[in-house]
Structure 1
């Protein structure tokens, strides 16, 4: 069996395989908690390119591919080489917004194949039999009929393959990102499994006992931007912008900014930041932005300024508060960012500002066209939230190796 990598304190560095990895928000949290990231699997080429760039030492460097067509034994990993399996199967069919959109298009939600992508996660569990797994999804999943089926199959395996399945003790909870140092009120469901034959434990982390980080604390050190001009009748998202490193406006003004600039203590503080680019706006949008106070939304505008149906698009525009956390960032930012207007500048937020609100450190660079960067950020698990969940798991795996020195790799007993 392969020997385990050790960290400087002579503790085991648990191995992590990331399914439906996206840009790597959850993987980054586990890496910062002391794990070795083996690699990530995702269909999105922009996500995989970004993942490769930010996790250059992964053992697996897979091309973008549909996990439906991938078997666990296709990977260059031994069946006992994974300590923790993580992932977030696509959530559109579980979210309130996604379900509403599908029904408006006349689609049958229950028959959508994306409902069952979690079964690929179960298939990988059956093959690698890791001591722990962590699955993430939208909080509204707990209200769906399929939720109990998901829990059952995660615990006992797929109906036709239960003889080989190790079985997992399941814990699940909805956590709020702002309770764990993320400047965003984002509710997400986490399902944690512990292999039943191993004497391991897990408890969800308690919320931090400190005031939530605000939008201002997260982004006030970034330089001001002027949104590129967009003609009124244009249907595009604006001209191409060159993504170059921009200097900081000030020295770090909060502990959060210090963390974002120098999240890994051995890294020098960067001399600038990438991905600080924002969308183009037309003159009428900018006038509307200027009329909104912090926390204000579309229906706060005079009726004469409402160019969209306010009964449907009541929050078409929303200006972020400066002294409070942001509301939830979503992948809709790839379409427009009008629900995320900068708290003091008359423009929507930049990619880097969105990344800061998701708790991505400045050394994490998104490698994609700007609209796809916003999509990657909006779909991500906040790294600080993932790190909070990862820490007790890492501790359990390390304690197991300490008490079982003869075991180089966990395997079925």
Structure 2
């Protein structure tokens, strides 16, 4: 079977390229700017080269050195953009306005520039929901216009990963484009929370968590329970399954201001809440009075157990929370392969 090539910019822990490789793509190169990510990558993907550097300082000539004169079929990537994440930093002068000048936002434009210079046939970009409203939508339109000027048909869609079999409610913006003249479409959901859709229901999180419920701590498996304070454990005991902390019913000893989103407990019969990057940001276990371990969060994100995350717990959590679920990325990759084969059948794939 013919192998098509891809490079992964802002690869993180590899959630995107795991799916693309499992679908049959050859991953020629990964790029990121994080020493811990590089350690995770070299441990889990030793056969895929990685450039660990600020992408603004990576030239397209350097990227081409890894391609062995191959054309790039697909560039994939998820530029980090916590600067306009809906849970990201807020500008102090206006708490409702996201930090639009965060330098991380410019990485999206760098991603578009590299696409323009490498000129793959297809492009895939994953981003947080907040990109839809940044600068009232003007920011996203600017990114799309850059790609259109480079000759790409591009469209975006807000996708819930639960609709593709991921046991997690996780909404992300997916941008797909091609420069071969094909209309841009998106993979069809294969799960639904609506019985009228006649699809399998959303996957529940318990199926991927239950065998870890009584497992002892295992640092080499990224499975270590946080040591919560006694006060927090008492708070967790009050959180019903599938619910959140009843702040209005707390005793004076347990009350405090500004409880965060971490005081929510997962329900065994439902998908998990969104895994977000951070040390203490994972939600509460469905049956235990503690937050999820990194391995449990990785299971929810559909990482195989063979992927081991390097760094301390916070660094591991960031890698897991920032990733694209591999189950979704494989379905996305299969969809792109189908588009490539359709273009070849039409005789338009090799056009410049």
Same fold (TM over 0.5): yes
Kindly provide the CA deviation profile for residues 178-212 of structure 1, in whole angstroms up to 9, marking residues without a partner as x: 111111100000000111xx254542111112111
Q: 1:103 to 1:385 in 2, by over 3 A?
A: farther
Task: Could you tell me which runs of 5 or more consecutive residues in structure 2 were left unpaired when the two chains were aligned.
Answer: 191-198
Give 1:216 deviation, angstroms: 0.9
Question: 1:173, CA displacement in angstroms?
Answer: 0.4
For residue 188 of structure 1, the aligned residue among 148, 167, 172 is 172
Contact 1:40–1:48 under 8 Å retained in 2: no
**Residues 12 and 398 in structure 1, CA contact (< 8 A), matched pair in contact too:** no
Match of 2:61 among 67, 70, 73: 73
Matches within 5 A, 1:33-72: 33-58=23-48, 60-62=49-51, 64-72=52-60
Aligned residue for 1:94?
Answer: 84
Counterparts of residues 316-355 of structure 1 (less than 5 Å):
316-331=262-277, 333-334=278-279, 336-337=280-281, 340-355=283-298
Q: Secondary structure at the match of 2:291?
A: coil
CA distance in structure 2 between the partners assigned to 1:114 and 1:179 by the alignment: 29
Match of 1:124 among 110, 114, 119: 114
Of 144, 154, 161, which aligns to 1:177? 161
Counterpart position of 1:262: none
Unaligned runs of 5+ residues in structure 1 are 1-10, 158-166, 227-240, 245-273
Relative distance call for 1:215 and 1:96 in structure 2 (3 A) is: same
Q: CA RMSD in A?
A: 2.6
Question: In the alignment, does 2:9 pair up with 1:16?
Answer: no
* Mapping 1:230-309, distance limit 5 Å: 243-244=219-220, 274-300=221-247, 301-309=249-257
Instruction: Return closer, same or farther for 1:74/1:156 CA change in 2, 3 Å cut-off.
Output: same
- Matches of 1:307 and 1:56, distance apart in 2: 49
Q: 1:216 to 1:188 in 2, by over 3 A?
A: same
* Structure with bigger gyration radius: 1
CA contact under 8 A between 2:75 and 2:122: conserved in structure 1? yes
Query: Could you say which residue in structure 2 is the equivalent of 1:3?
Result: none
- Aligned-pair distance for 1:395? 2.2
- For residues 266-287 of structure 1, the C-alpha deviation after alignment (integer angstroms, 9 at most, x for no partner) is xxxxxxxx22222111222222
Residue 193 of structure 2 corresponds to none
SS at match of 2:236: helix
Aligned-partner Cα distance in 1 for 2:274–2:235 = 22
How far is the alpha carbon of 1:303 from its aligned partner?
Answer: 3.4
Contact 2:91/2:98, CA 8 A, preserved across alignment: no
1:350 Cα deviation after fit = 0.9
Q: Which residue of 2 aligns with 1:203?
A: 185
Q: Could you tell me the TM-score, scaled by structure 2's length?
A: 0.87
TM-score, length of structure 1 as denominator length: 0.75
C-alpha distance in structure 1 between counterparts of 2:110 and 2:321, whole Å: 23
Partners of 2:322 and 2:148 in 1: CA distance = 26
Q: Please give the alpha-carbon distance, in whole angstroms, between the structure 2 residues aligned to 1:111 and 1:314.
A: 25
Please give the alpha-carbon distance, in whole angstroms, between the structure 2 residues aligned to 1:315 and 1:398: 44
Q: For 2:309 and 2:91, how far apart are their aligned partners in 1?
A: 28
Greater shift in the superposed pair: 383-392 or 290-299: 290-299
